């Protein structure tokens, strides 16, 4: 089964994952996908 996975399928799945991540960062609130977010953490929260 694993021998039937082509390079194109792997490349397409990586591209979809990257596009989903960027979409989540743009659409979801920061507490979910942003600095310190639980789904996508884009970096450190700034604390003053």
> What pLDDT, in 10s, does the model give residues 1-48?
677 999 999 999 999 999 999 999 999 999 999 888 999 888 876 666
C-alpha to C-alpha distance for 39 and 33, rounded to whole angstroms: 6
Query: Is the model's pTM score more than 0.95?
Result: no
Contact 7, 13 (CB under 8 A): no
Backbone torsions φ then ψ of 45, nearest 5 degrees: -75, 140
CB atoms within 10 A of CB 33: 20
């Amino acid at each position: 089964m694993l021998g039937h996975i082509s390079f194109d399928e792997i490349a397409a799945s990586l591209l979809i994952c990257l596009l989903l991540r960027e979409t989540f960062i743009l659409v979801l609130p920061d507490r979910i996908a942003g600095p310190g977010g639980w789904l996508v953490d884009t970096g450190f929260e700034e604390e003053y």
